[in-house]
Structure 1
Amino acid sequence: MAKGAHGSRQAAWEFFGAELKRRREEATLTQVELGARVFVSGGYIGQFEQAIRKPQLDVAQRIDAVLQTAGFFERMWRKLIDDKRYADYFAEVVELERMATKICEFAPTVVPGLLQTAPYARAVTIAANPFVTDEYVDEKVTARLERARILKDVTRPEFWAILHENVLRVPVGGPAAMAEQLEHIAALAHERKVLVLVLPRAEGACAAMGGMVSLMEFDDAPPTAYTETSFSGELLDSPAVVKRVQRAYDLLRGAAMSPEASLALISSAAEDFRRCTSST
């Protein structure tokens, strides 16, 4: 997203927060009192009002019910979060990625979206949606590449990725696409834009964490976790739950190969795919 568009959307969230504060005060409720009625802390209500943190949809709906605002906050939430290029459960995560100061991901099956190349992203999209149009595929790939721009910004987040070794071995899109994908990851690591670790197959039990996991940290808001399976995702912001996810991620990081050994394995796998390409 262009800087101007991001600034415009942030201004809209500030309006959301200002309206929330105005209508809360009209209802003679404190932040703590409103928070208790919509099942979040008073501190969260304060962060919503300052546009530091964005509420989830169900919270916006409960705010409407408590403040009797006839769906105002739900409609505004949908307008600000809704982006048809992303699945409904993922659109809010894209917003959070843009604000994060640190992102830590675990990828058990495919390369994380922020690291994907166009051919790899295209292959993944078509595999999950074999009957869609080229326009649909192009839109999804373009959106994914736009997300990845945050890794090139001067203010880019600190980005960690733990890849299960299987991610390096499955030839998504064919040997040429896979070689390009792994070379891209290696280049980002060499440029110190990302830190990538590989979880060896031998550490089988550690992969029991399940599906893809992303942890995000922010300057002025508590950390958030996001988990995803093939067709659904869930944003987690309960401090106790996020703490458990962080602990599980720390265990994965402890079981992973060193950054140097991981990069060597990624480069070696890329060379293997290149050889497959040249021999055909």
Structure 2
Amino acid sequence: MDETTPPEHLNPLQRFGRDIRQVRLARKLTQKHLGKATGYSEGYVSKVESGTLLPRPSEKFAKGCDTVFGTGELFAGLLRRIDEGDHPSWFVPYLNLERKASRILDYSASLVMGILQTEAYARAVFRASHPREDADLIEGRVAARLRRRELFELDAPPLLWVILHEACLRTVVGDAEILAGQLEYLLKAVTSPHIDLQVLPFSAGAPGAHTRPFTLLTFEKHPTVLYADGPQGGKLYDSPATVALHYDSYDRLRAHALSPGGSLALIKSLVKEYRS
């Protein structure tokens, strides 16, 4: 990034890096000093300041900078706004709650849920759903989706329990190679003690009253919240009756799904099928 580049010509990550550098220099700190103080390398700080670190600087780094610089929550807030800028406005409230949840119970009906998508799979999804969108906007959406994985880097990450309808495993997103890569990523993801996965097979019949995907977020000290897709985007619901109805549906879906072991066996067989 050229230091003479006008701010209006910088992308959000470049502006973030430029602000970090300006404050660092004002505090008379070297990149090595800042890296050591925040728990990162000098090279990491250099990439942040040049705006070339992808998908974006970590929340831990931003908070560390605020501590070192004495800037309150300035850089952590800037990073959140960058993140939110790559998501549709109706999805931001869900993201804010997702970061605070103790459990995430998800039912996906046709596509693998966003937080478990690979880069190639997410790119194919966005290209299909936004065929006329510029490539840089697509890449911003992809990067924002991948950043959601940072949830599992927290000291106390939430438990994620995912029920995937078999249609998610057989809908060829992009091409067979991309889908095979996505399924292999699922096999890797479930090795985490914080992620459980079950597949609802076609043989289970109709999936019940709720054929659309939905997510239940539970919290230690707050009531459970439901997130469900609609024709105009997703929406949050906190009505006890609505939440209870979807809890019941989730229990039924889980009861009719394959066991975790049987689910992984099916995924492995499909990987072989798509790789052949």
2: distance between equivalents of 1:5 and 1:240?
A: 40
* Corresponding position of 1:248: 249
2: distance between equivalents of 1:154 and 1:267?
A: 31
Structure 1 stretches lacking a partner, 5+ long: 13-78, 276-280
Structure 2 stretches lacking a partner, 5+ long: 1-57, 67-71, 74-79
* Corresponding position of 2:48: none
Aligned pair in 2 of structure 1 residues 230, 180: CA closer, same or farther (>3 Å)?
Answer: farther
Corresponding position: 1:144 with 2:145: yes
Please give the secondary structure, in 1, of the residue aligned with 2:89.
coil
2: distance between equivalents of 1:201 and 1:6?
A: 46
Aligned pair in 2 of structure 1 residues 153, 252: CA closer, same or farther (>3 Å)?
Answer: same
- Per-residue deviation, residues 71-94 of structure 1 (Å, max 9, x unmatched): xxxxxxxx9799221112111101
- Per-residue deviation, residues 71-122 of structure 1 (Å, max 9, x unmatched): xxxxxxxx97992211121111011111011000000010000100000000
Among candidates 60, 63, 67, match of residue 3 of structure 1: 60
Aligned pair in 2 of structure 1 residues 119, 231: CA closer, same or farther (>3 Å)?
Answer: farther
TM-score normalised by length of structure 2: 0.70
- Per-residue deviation, residues 259-278 of structure 1 (Å, max 9, x unmatched): 00001111111121111xxx
Does structure 2 conserve the Cα–Cα contact (< 8 Å) formed by 1:226 and 1:236? yes
* Corresponding position of 1:183: 184
* Corresponding position of 1:121: 122
1: distance between equivalents of 2:208 and 2:114?
A: 19
2: distance between equivalents of 1:255 and 1:92?
A: 31
2: distance between equivalents of 1:143 and 1:6?
A: 19
1: distance between equivalents of 2:111 and 2:132?
A: 21
Please give the secondary structure, in 1, of the residue aligned with 2:115.
helix
* Corresponding position of 2:15: none
2: distance between equivalents of 1:240 and 1:80?
A: 33
Corresponding position: 1:272 with 2:264: no
* Corresponding position of 2:111: 110
* Corresponding position of 2:131: 130
RMSD of aligned alpha carbons: 2.3
